[in-house]
């Protein structure tokens, strides 16, 4: 079981690296053909056309991603432990476990403790190729930890603190314990237009569109891929 888990972790990391090359335009046509051949599986995913219609990926891109995903992780799903292990490799100088937990929950659309290929593709399509509004709505859902349709200060503080922990001491060498709270207070002052103590989706989108620095701060995941 441990060997299978390690193989899945290594495979998904390769999958993400392949995705990075693919979406950044550095995966050539010949390379795509080579990787298709190397990662060929015996069956074609059901609903490929539906995924193509629902995402901003082409059929060829979906084939490459799906075949690599299934070849390296035959179960077709990723659990939270594996996801945390993968994500930690992007941030070796910090503790990414808390942020990975919240990010995993955002990808886990069925809330069943696992991420399927379809979950990955739908989320990544928005984060990498979606409109500004789509990206902000996805990010809002990440911050809305209890999924009640609002972001309160406690939820935002949890996420912001997790981001600081993930970036580590090399990025923030003299960070004081109250800095995340100060940033959240500043965010809320701009976002909570009616001063009712919570931020709605529309308030969130409006504030981020009015302040590019705030948008960059909140959409950290884009910088990982």
Q: Give pLDDT tens digits for 46-103.
A: 578 889 999 998 888 888 878 777 776 778 888 899 888 888 887 888 898 999 999 9
Average model confidence (pLDDT) for the chain? 77
**Does position 42 have pLDDT exceeding 50, yes or no?**
no
**Does position 31 have pLDDT exceeding 70, yes or no?**
no
Which own/partner contact pairs does 28-37 have at CB distance under 8 Å and 24+ positions apart? 32/60, 32/64, 35/64, 35/68, 36/63, 36/64, 36/67
| Run of H or E including 114 | strand 114-116
- Please give the Cα distance from 181 to 162 (Å, whole number): 12
- Please give the Cα distance from 156 to 105 (Å, whole number): 15
- With cut-offs at 50, 70 and 90, classify the pLDDT of residue 171: low
């Amino acid at each position: 079981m441990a060997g299978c888990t390690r193989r899945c972790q290594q495979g998904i990391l390769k999958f993400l690296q392949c995705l990075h090359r693919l979406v950044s335009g550095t995966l050539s046509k010949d390379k795509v053909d080579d990787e298709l051949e190397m990662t060929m599986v015996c069956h074609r995913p059901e609903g490929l056309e539906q995924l193509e219609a629902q995402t901003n990926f082409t059929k060829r891109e979906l084939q490459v991603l799906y075949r690599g995903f299934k070849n390296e992780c035959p179960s077709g799903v990723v659990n939270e432990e594996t996801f945390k292990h993968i994500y930690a490799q992007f941030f070796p100088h910090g503790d990414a476990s808390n942020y990975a937990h919240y990010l995993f929950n955002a990808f886990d659309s069925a809330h069943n403790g696992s991420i399927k290929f379809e979950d990955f593709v739908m989320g990544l399509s928005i984060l990498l190729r979606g409109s500004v509004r789509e990206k902000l709505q996805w990010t809002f859902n990440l911050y809305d930890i209890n999924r009640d349709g609002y972001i309160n200060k406690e939820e935002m503080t949890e996420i912001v603190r997790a981001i600081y922990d993930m970036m580590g001491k090399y990025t923030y060498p003299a960070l004081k314990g109250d800095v995340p709270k100060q940033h959240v207070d500043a965010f809320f002052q701009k976002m909570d237009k009616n001063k009712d103590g919570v931020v709605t989706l529309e308030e969130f989108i409006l504030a981020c569109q009015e302040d590019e620095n705030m948008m960059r701060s909140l959409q950290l995941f884009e910088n990982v891929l």
